[in-house]
Chain A
Amino acid sequence: MLPASRAPRVLVVVPAYNEEASVAAVVAELQAVAPGVDVVVVDDGSRDQTARRARDAGAVVLALPFNLGVGGAMRTGYLYGFRNDYDVVVQVDADGQHDPSQLPLLLAGLAQSNIVVGARFAGVGSYRVRGPRRVAMRLLSGALSRTAGTRLTDATSGFRAVDRAALGLFARHYPAEYLGDTVESLVMAVRAGLTVSQVPVQMRVRTAGVPSQSPLKASLYLGRAVLALALAYVRTRHELLPTTLPVEPREERASS
């Protein structure tokens, strides 16, 4: 949900691991498309020039001392957003897959729910999925749709926006394990009493790297998906804290 009396302060968090080739373009595009939005790049222990490129492009950079994975990087970003009093945090991947021009669609969705997931259009620009990976994706979206009480077709999409209530939860408890950042985080949020919805967005073809279609890897993915789901449901529920309660008192914010 968004603040009623004023324009929401929006932060875009870009988790980046060895993305020197694309991160600057993503930051520049975000600033061009959404000028009022702050951009923070979480450099997840990259060994290349990711941090420098992002900083030169005008983003605030949080440089992790070693690689924590997307979940860990995002939690750092959520913590930054929470401590600096942002109303909304949007995750945008550094590989250019997520189109910044779709940002308003996500933000509009926050009028109805605490978390908005940007889901790929069925068929448009998407790769064909077969075998165990297809089973895994169906299983995930089926289970998550039932949990959230709304149709979620693209459960593993990282393109998402969260409001202040969800931010308070994620800043402390964002899951760091594999698939935890996408799958478990949604289950966790719903179980904590938050609402989730999805909006269809256009996604781009990834510039580098295609999801593996090898049957062995796909089966492994299915196994991990089942495990992640099972863990998400049996783990103890987190309590929602008041969104005004700071993790740590601050007298001044450090946004540049």
Chain B
Amino acid sequence: MKEGYGLALVAAVVAMVLIVELLRRRQLTEKYAVIWLTVGLGIVVLAVSPGLLTRAADLVGVAVPSNLLFFVAGIVLLLVCLQLSFETSRLEDETRSLAEEVALLRQELEAVRRRE
């Protein structure tokens, strides 16, 4: 095993354990788990067989294999961020609707109480 890949392997295993543990404790819903499991698996595969990265870099014409890794990692992180923004927007919208309902229900309850 070449130097440096041990580090990658350790990082991959730590990431996987973390993801699985969060899933197990129901802290991570399925839709996020899928992304992170895929990312984790990718890291493990690359750590175990670094030749794969070199071949992939050759295939797409990237001279330095690690640059391909950085590029792909950047894209993946960007997409994950985008998904999180999307989900936050939706959550904000839902919270807003709930706040509206709470206000309406509170008023209704008061009206009912006053009538009694």
Which residues on A are within 8 Å of B, measured CB to CB? 42, 60-66, 68, 72, 75-76, 79-80, 83, 176, 254-256
Determine the residue in chain B with the shortest Cβ distance to A75. B100
**12 A-B contacts, Cβ less than 8 Å apart?**
A60-B107, A61-B107, A64-B99, A64-B100, A66-B99, A72-B99, A72-B100, A76-B100, A76-B103, A80-B104, A254-B108, A256-B114
Interface of A: prevailing SS = mixed
Report the 6 A-B pairs with minimum CB-CB distance, sorted nearest first. Answer: A62-B103, A76-B100, A254-B111, A64-B103, A254-B108, A62-B107
Residue of A68, A75, A254 touching B107 (CB-CB under 8 A) = A254
**Which B81-99 residues have a C-beta within 8 angstroms of A?**
96, 99
Q: What count of chain B residues pass the 8 Å CB interface test? A: 12
Which residues on B are within 8 Å of A, measured CB to CB? 96, 99-100, 102-104, 106-108, 111-112, 114
Rounded to whole Å, the gap between the CB of A233 and the closest CB of chain B is 19
Q: Give the chain B neighbours of A61 by CB distance below 8 A.
A: 107
Rounded to whole Å, the gap between the CB of A4 and the closest CB of chain B is 30
Residue of A66, A79, A176, A256 touching B104 (CB-CB under 8 A) = A79
Q: Give the chain B neighbours of A254 by CB distance below 8 A.
A: 107-108, 111-112
Q: Give the chain A neighbours of B112 by CB distance below 8 A.
A: 254
Q: Give the chain B neighbours of A63 by CB distance below 8 A.
A: 103, 106-107
Given contacts A76-B104, A80-B104, contact A256 B111 (CB under 8 A): yes
